[in-house]
């Protein structure tokens, strides 16, 4: 597969000045985290974004809040690229499995985004706000259709997030963690949610669409 790097840009010149400033801070932090991880100073970010430290605090009250914004920005850009390739998959369980499988493979085509998510996500804390809205919607629909069970959904979301972030990290670090390992993790996640074992195996191991 080819390697692709997404670049966050201000998509509209009509954005308010405050939003443009916030975006500039996030963009600067994304580049720094992708390059050196989370060991950086706020002065490095403000210098790269060409804003004053006081301006930074108008947008982010803590460094952890910045981490969250950066991780969600990177994940959102990746998801925006991914979702059009999943639209033609009619089987919701297969579509959910493909999204999870691509997430763990993020470093293969989107190394900057994978690096950011790998470094920043563990620092965010776990809450329902940390999940992709699309992911939550699909899980809710799978529960409504009886494919997933309704018990302890929030706990399962936490466990699934932890499992997939671990898979992403192992893949990103070039640890011996190949496609089969990733697909086995996804299969286990689907079964944990209550999917039929045979259907989970098929969904987690069928051919992936081309990105």
pLDDT in tens, the chain (211 residues): 444 445 444 444 556 788 899 999 999 999 998 888 878 899 999 999 999 999 999 999 988 889 888 888 888 888 888 888 898 899 999 999 999 999 999 888 888 888 887 776 665 544 444 456 778 888 999 999 999 999 999 899 888 888 988 898 888 887 788 999 999 999 999 999 999 999 999 999 999 998 7
| DSSP classification of residue 131 | S
What's the rounded Cα separation, in Å, for the pair 158 and 190? 13
**Longest C-alpha distance within the chain, in Å?**
56
- The C-alpha atoms of residue 192 and residue 106 are separated, in whole angstroms, by 23
How crowded is residue 154: how many other Cβ atoms within 10 Å of its Cβ?
11
Distance CA 143, CA 124 (A): 27
Place of tokens 């399962």: 156
The pLDDT, as a whole number, for residue 123 is: 55
The structure tokens listed for 125 are: 């804390």
Q: What is the model's pLDDT at position 92?
A: 94
Nearest C-alpha neighbor of 166 from the set 194, 31, 158? 158
Q: How many CA atoms lie within 13 Å of 150's alpha carbon, on the beta-carbon side?
A: 4
Contact 202, 191 (CB under 8 A): no
| Count of residues in the chain | 211
Among all chains, which residue has been given the structure tokens 């989970």?
Answer: 200
């Amino acid at each position: 597969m080819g390697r692709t790097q997404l670049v966050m840009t201000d998509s509209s010149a009509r954005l308010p000045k405050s939003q443009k400033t916030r975006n500039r801070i996030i963009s600067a932090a994304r580049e720094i985290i992708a390059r050196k991880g989370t060991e950086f100073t706020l002065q490095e970010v403000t210098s790269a974004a060409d804003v004053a430290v006081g301006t930074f605090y108008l947008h982010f009250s803590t460094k952890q809040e910045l981490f969250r914004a950066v991780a969600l920005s990177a994940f959102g850009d990746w998801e925006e690229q991914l979702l059009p390739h999943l639209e033609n998959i009619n089987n919701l369980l297969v579509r959910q499995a493909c999204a999870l499988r691509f997430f763990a493979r993020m470093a293969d085509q989107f190394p900057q985004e994978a690096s950011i998510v790998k470094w920043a996500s563990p620092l965010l804390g776990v809450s329902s706000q940390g999940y992709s809205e699309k992911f939550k919607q699909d899980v809710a629909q799978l529960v409504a259709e009886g494919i997933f069970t309704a018990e302890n959904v929030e706990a399962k979301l936490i466990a699934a997030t932890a499992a997939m972030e671990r898979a992403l990290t192992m893949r990103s670090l070039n640890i011996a963690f190949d496609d089969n390992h990733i697909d086995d993790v996804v299969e286990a996640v689907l079964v944990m949610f209550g999917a039929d074992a045979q259907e989970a195996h098929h969904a987690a191991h069928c051919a992936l669409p081309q990105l």
